[in-house]
Structure 1
């Protein structure tokens, strides 16, 4: 069995980790790279100069990598989903009547 160059941590009850990215952030980075590839092809077919396209895609790719790694480091495996779910919870539950709690 040959050893892989890349080490993927898939232990029991452990998040999938690849080069410092955790869990769903691997998919976010992959989707972003596919979008950049499609954008490169569209800009090339439009006829923009190749060096301009490469500069734009390189800059966008740099910002994509830094943003995804920052999200992964900040929120961890489930933190971003927890933050999104927290917005759906009410801040306060008001009960203006005692009828709910009285036995009738």
Structure 2
């Protein structure tokens, strides 16, 4: 089992910054051929680990929960340290970074 320190609680952030980060993330998903079946849905009760929860309705009826840090995108995308905040997809143990 590998534990990514970036999946620890994120530094304090804002919902507005998390929404901005989500737009950037979805643009990268789109650039790689991914598409959503509908607009992302904010799920406040899913907030965890200092991150803001969004459900992404994916094509084919699947829904993927993203826990987006509300910190400046550079802290997610440009910080290559293992302790940099990551973006849990579907579960807190499946993390990606905006690289």
Shorter-chain TM-score: which interval?
under 0.3
Give the TM-score, by structure 1 length.
0.27
TM-score normalised per structure 2: 0.28
Say which structure, 1 or 2, has more relative contact order (CA 8 Å, 6+ apart).
2
Answer 1 or 2: which has greater strand percent. 2
Larger helix fraction of residues? 1
Structure number, greater radius of gyration: 1
